[in-house]
Structure 1
């Protein structure tokens, strides 16, 4: 084993064992203790943060990670694209970390592979016109999830039959964050509802982290909504003019769709009819709600309000 290989092997050995004595390294690599000290000095001079604890051994500064030994082209491009996605959808702290990771990945690539990967990276882009919602709240919730602490916030419930419900004070145990449909959502145990709930971050305000520490259920799994939450069936018929667009950009609540003589028949499963109101209204006269009758009435009332607003 030449010295370069031994230096790398020593570094891997320290990382794997967290803490190791110089004499043990000497025995492992079959060299003298003096040689090991020279190798450790060389690593330190090259920028590796080595810590020596008298009577305990050698370790690396906590949080230091070795760069991967090698990447394939596909591995490198996926890591770089992943860091770009994080940069677009997380707050400034993670965006800076993503950019730093990106630079480090590129730095360890062989020159030929680096050129190829950079070419591919510049040929693929994630386009998102939405700014990250509520970055301060996102950052606080991330910290609360890590610390397993309850949070308190004011929450504006969904739009309901032409009216926006007043904000309610909530306390919740934050379990997970998901990014879906261009928005961040928190999955948490709501102390008010005594059940798991989904909260949109852009409807939260005045969030604070409490001292109460909670334990997340061992069987918790991230999912947007459990199936039995959605027991109300909504059926709507979209005309041919928008049928393809509905197929390309379906609602989160969509359960089934079938071709119809007059367009596209779509079935949705929701908790309550008003969950679909705003999305269906966005299709204007190109959609006709078939059921339930309560949602048909909501659509009609909203259409009347729109007419009133434009007749003044």
Structure 2
């Protein structure tokens, strides 16, 4: 991106947000903080009314607007691809909202871009894997949680844990909504467990406001949640297994959901390295591959697979 395009993009980025930090701009455009300051100064000298608030960032003074923004065909194609990706989240109403927004964008496109988009629309499709679970989530929960995050309101939820087959009542400080695999999660500070937790949204049975508000500078933050999650990931245990050649075609993308890190071809198959937080779950997953997989390490995993195999043998015998 040349400097002229970057300056224009910066104005659009600033105009779409209440406050933007130098760090935000630096990371978004891949430039140094020094270059960000230089670009902001150039925009101010060109007459763009950019203000700043100490500790919060920069903003465009209310009332200033760019001329109507137009999209090129690459941006239009990206928006259409985004609409297809959003279709799987129809239960949260995100899909409907995205489609409505795209319809408004279509209405202001030039005829050439409209024709391009109409043609492309007929040639972009999404397909789900045959074994992909379609999770239904009451869209009202999603909207409720969105509002709670924005308004910094503590929520009371009834949460179902399938592993313990029980419901628990939790007061949660909502920090954000996250996508992991095929599911939406609420990231928050659980006051019952006094720790950061992730709650799968489709497992929230009941929910309500508590009437309690978080401070403007809350004690618990999404940034701290992310840092803790990163630390936990660094504590994952390394697993090395070898899949026989005939098993590889059946494995497909499953490895990416089990903490796959790397792989290399070896005599008779492929040796793969994973990082896992649960030897137990990993051992149970390996059972489905029968004698088509061999455990190299750790010893604990090999022993657990042997124990589970014996249990299965005794059970089916």
Q: TM-score, normalised by structure 2?
A: 0.63
1:236 to 226, 241, 255: 241
Which residue does 1:85 correspond to in 2? 85
Distance across 1 between alignment mates of 2:227 and 2:181: 14
Which residue does 2:157 correspond to in 1? 153
Deviations 1:189-217 (A, max 9, x none): 22244332333234433333322223253
1:286 is aligned to 2:292? yes
Cα contact 2:76–2:113 (8 A) shared by 1: no
Distance across 1 between alignment mates of 2:133 and 2:285: 18
Cα contact 2:174–2:187 (8 A) shared by 1: yes
Secondary structure at the residue paired with 2:154?
strand
1:140 to 129, 141, 144: 144
Deviations 1:111-152 (A, max 9, x none): 232111121122122323543442343333222212222233
Cα contact 1:133–1:201 (8 A) shared by 2: no
- Judging changes above 3 Å, is the alpha-carbon distance between structure 1 residues 287 and 223 closer, same or farther for their aligned structure 2 residues? farther
Superposed counterparts of 1:212-251, under 5 Å:
212-214=212-214, 215=218, 216-217=220-221, 219-220=223-224, 225-229=229-233, 230-243=235-248, 246=251, 248-249=253-254, 250-251=256-257
Q: TM-score, normalised by structure 1?
A: 0.63
Q: Which has the larger radius of gyration?
A: 1
Distance across 1 between alignment mates of 2:99 and 2:313: 49
- What displacement does 1:105 show? 1.8
Q: CA RMSD in A?
A: 3.6
Show structure 2 runs of 5+ residues with no match: 1-14, 17-64
- What displacement does 1:285 show? 4.0
Show structure 1 runs of 5+ residues with no match: 1-14, 17-64
1:131 is aligned to 2:137? no
Distance across 2 between alignment mates of 1:221 and 1:175: 8
Superposed counterparts of 1:71-220, under 5 Å:
71-91=71-91, 93-128=93-128, 130-136=133-139, 137-157=141-161, 159=163, 164=164, 166-214=166-214, 215=218, 216-217=220-221, 219-220=223-224
- What displacement does 1:298 show? 4.4
Deviations 1:264-285 (A, max 9, x none): 2222223332342454344444
Cα contact 2:135–2:202 (8 A) shared by 1: no
Distance across 1 between alignment mates of 2:108 and 2:168: 51
Cα contact 2:187–2:222 (8 A) shared by 1: no
Secondary structure at the residue paired with 2:242?
strand
Distance across 2 between alignment mates of 1:175 and 1:143: 11
Q: How many residues align?
A: 245
Distance across 1 between alignment mates of 2:93 and 2:67: 21
- Judging changes above 3 Å, is the alpha-carbon distance between structure 1 residues 211 and 192 closer, same or farther for their aligned structure 2 residues? same
- What displacement does 1:87 show? 3.6
Cα contact 1:236–1:287 (8 A) shared by 2: yes
